[in-house]
Chains A and B, each alone.
Chain A
Amino acid sequence: MVIVAAMVAATVALPALAADLEAGRRKSEPCARCHGDGGNATVPGTPSLAGQPAWFTHWALVKFRDGRRKDPMMSPVAANLSDADMADLAAYYATLPPRPRPQTLDAAKAAAGQRLAVSHHCTSCHRPDLGGQHQVPRLAGQDLDYLLRLLRAYRAGTAGDLEGLMTLAAQPLSDADIENLAHYIAGLTPAP
Chain B
Amino acid sequence: MRRITLTSLALALGVVLALAPLVLAQQPPPAWKQGQSPELADSPLAPVPLPPTPTPAKDIPVDKIKLPPGFTISVWADGLHNARQMAWGTRGTLFVGTRVAGSVYAVVDRGDRREVKVIAKGLAQPSGVAFKDGALYVAEIPRLLKYENIEASLDNPPAPKVVYEFPKDAHHNWRFLLWGPDGKLYFNMGAPCNICMPPDTHANISRVNPDGTGFEYYARGVRNSTGADFHPVTKELYFVSHGRDWMGDEIPNDTLHHAPRPGFHFGYPYCHQGDIVDPDFGRGRSCSEFAPPLLKLGPHVAPIGFRFYTGSLFPPQYRNVAFSAQKGSWNRTVKIGYRVMTVELKPGQPPKYEVFADGFHQGDKVLGRPTHIEWMPDGSMLLSDDYHGAIYHITYRR
Contact = CB atoms under 8 A, between A and B. Distances in A.
Interface stretch (B54-62, B228-236, B310-318): B54-62
Contacts of A172: 27
Interface residues of B, number: 45
A87 B29 contact: no
B349 interface: no
Contacts of A17: 51, 53-56, 59
Contacts, number: 114
Contacts of B169: 164
A113 B240 CA distance: 43
Contacts of A68: 102, 122
B337 to A, nearest CB: 13
Interface stretch (A21-29, A120-128, A148-156): A120-128
A163 B100 contact: yes
B366 A9 contact: no
Interface in A106-147: 115-116, 119-121, 124-125, 133-135
B11 interface: no
A59 B55 CA distance: 15
A86 B52 CA distance: 9
Contacts of A58: 52-53
A164 B44 contact: no
Give the one of B24, B27, B364, B388 with max A CB within 10 A.
Answer: B27
A115 B26 CA distance: 10
A10 B52 contact: no
A112 to B, nearest CB: 9
B24 A10 contact: no
B33 interface: yes
A55 interface: yes
B365 A10 contact: no
Interface of B is mostly: loop
Given A16-B51, A66-B122, A135-B49, A124 B33 contact: yes
Interface residues of A, number: 42
A10 B45 contact: yes
Given A3-B42, A134-B49, A135-B50, A124 B24 contact: no
Interface string B1-39: 000000000000000000000001111111111000000
Interface of A: 3, 6-7, 9-14, 16-18, 55, 58-59, 61-62, 66-68, 83, 86-87, 90, 115-116, 119-121, 124-125, 133-135, 162-165, 167-169, 172
29 contacts: A6-B44, A9-B44, A10-B44, A10-B45, A10-B330, A11-B48, A11-B364, A12-B363, A13-B49, A14-B55, A16-B54, A16-B55, A16-B389, A17-B51, A17-B53, A17-B59, A58-B52, A67-B122, A83-B53, A83-B54, A90-B52, A121-B30, A121-B33, A133-B49, A135-B49, A135-B50, A135-B52, A165-B30, A165-B32
Given A14-B367, A121-B33, 16 more contacts: A3-B42, A3-B44, A11-B49, A12-B363, A17-B59, A55-B49, A59-B52, A62-B53, A66-B102, A66-B122, A121-B28, A124-B29, A163-B170, A164-B141, A165-B31, A168-B31
Which 6 A/B pairs are nearest by Cβ-Cβ distance? A164-B170, A16-B51, A134-B49, A6-B44, A58-B52, A67-B122
Interface of B: 24-33, 42, 44-46, 48-56, 59, 99-103, 121-122, 124-125, 141, 169-171, 330, 363-367, 388-389
